[in-house]
């Protein structure tokens, strides 16, 4: 059954099918919310906000119109707005992505120095992403982590496709600018004598 068919059935009173709709999107929405919350170290409430997103979507399902957007786009928009609303409530919370406690684990055969360097690089990338303005950060997360196309991102952020491309360009340029000193090859000067 497609999303459209499920939604029609749910609107016609077969509300048990909403569980199927949730199963299809729960992991993606949870991952998106989790990434949005990383910068504030509020990942612990990601599941609650995911549930709230699905509750809001269920309550508003009667107003969903397929002509305007796909269900997934509509759902991501609700998730984004739910997270932004929560962040506004907790505006005083400011924690870097590095402090989220999520670091990749090196394989057992990797040398400790390599694992330490890799963790340090991941930490620097998180800090760079954390410093982005909200729309740039959201666009970057949707594109790079959730692999969405420009039109989907535009619909979720309420922007045009060209605006999304511009947001992504600025986000990537900002991250690159912040990371260049750490990842560029060192320039050695000739020593005298």
Look up the CATH number of the domain holding residue 126: 1.10.10.10
Are both 51 and 85 inside the same structural domain? yes
Answer yes or no: is pLDDT of 71 > 60: yes
Query: Rounded to whole angstroms, how far apart are CA atoms 157 and 43?
Result: 21
Contact (CB, 8 A) for 5 and 14? no
How does residue 54 score in pLDDT terms, banded at 50, 70 and 90?
very high
Pick from 26-30, 102-106, 127-131, 134-138: least confident: 102-106
Task: Report the domain count for the chain.
Answer: 2
Are both 81 and 27 inside the same structural domain? yes
Of 65 and 75, the one with more pLDDT? 75
Last residue of a domain, one of 103, 124, 143: 103
Residue 181: predicted pLDDT: 78
pTM of the predicted structure, to 2 decimals? 0.64
Answer yes or no: is pLDDT of 107 > 50: no
Give the residue numbers spanning the domain of 165: 112-192
Are both 116 and 99 inside the same structural domain? no
The per-residue pLDDT of the chain, averaged, comes to 80
Highest mean pLDDT (candidates 23-32, 84-93, 141-150, 175-184) = 23-32
Are both 6 and 95 inside the same structural domain? yes
Sort 182 into a burial class: Cβ within 10 Å, 0-12 / 13-18 / 19+: exposed
């Amino acid at each position: 059954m497609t999303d459209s068919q499920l939604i029609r059935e749910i609107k016609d009173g077969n509300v048990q099918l909403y569980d199927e709709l949730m199963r299809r999107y729960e992991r993606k929405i949870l991952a998106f919310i989790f990434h949005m919350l990383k910068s504030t170290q509020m990942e612990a409430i990601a599941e609650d906000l995911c549930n709230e997103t699905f509750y809001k979507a269920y309550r508003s399902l009667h107003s969903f119109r397929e002509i305007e957007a796909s269900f997934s786009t509509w759902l991501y928009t609700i998730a984004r707005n739910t997270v932004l609303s929560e962040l506004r409530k907790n505006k005083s919370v400011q924690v870097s992505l590095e402090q989220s406690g999520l670091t990749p684990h090196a394989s057992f055969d990797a040398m400790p120095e390599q694992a330490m360097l890799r963790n340090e690089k991941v930490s620097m990338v998180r800090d760079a992403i954390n410093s982005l303005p909200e729309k740039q950060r959201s666009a970057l997360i949707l594109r790079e982590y959730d692999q969405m196309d420009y039109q989907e991102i535009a619909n979720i952020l309420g922007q045009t496709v060209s605006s999304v491309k511009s947001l992504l360009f600025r986000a990537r340029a900002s991250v690159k600018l912040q990371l260049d000193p750490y990842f560029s090859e060192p320039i050695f000067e000739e020593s005298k004598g």
